[in-house]
Amino acid sequence: MVAGYGFTVSVREGTVCLERKVRDRIKAERVIDVLRAKYGDDFHAYINGKSKNFIVKIPIYTFEKYDEIRTQVIEVLRRRLERIKDERRKKNIIEALKKLAPTEGVAVGQ
């Protein structure tokens, strides 16, 4: 939950982002306005999509600055790592955890 909205953690090769699907552009802009009201005007989020479905995306370089969001994302990635069987996807999640996790006291991997 980020600013009262549920986001999906999307892990792709080399990057992580938070995504929220909305039905129209007005709702997408409202989500971004709430995020900027809570985290400040320098909070970077953008809208992808056309016509029916829009996606509000928050890139990793934005949410890694905020401990509240970062800890939630780390917890989601750890749970996902336990369930996943595919080695390529597991490798991507481990790389994402290494980017987000503090260097002290975190065991990433096995």
- Asked whether the predicted pLDDT for residue 82 surpasses 90, the reply is yes
> Which CATH number applies to 8-100?
3.30.70
Spatial distance between the Cα atoms of 69 and 57, rounded to a whole number of angstroms? 14
Q: What is the pLDDT of residue 104?
A: 54
- Say what the alpha-carbon torsion angle 20, 74, 58, 26 is, to the nearest 10 degrees: 30
Q: Tell me the mean pLDDT in the region 50-56.
A: 85
Task: Tell me what pLDDT residue 78 has.
Answer: 92
What value, to the nearest 5°, has the Cα angle with vertex 13 and ends 92 and 20? Answer: 95
DSSP state of 93: H
Q: Which residue has the tokens 């016509």?
A: 51
Classify strands 8-12 and 46-50 as parallel, antiparallel or unpaired. Answer: unpaired
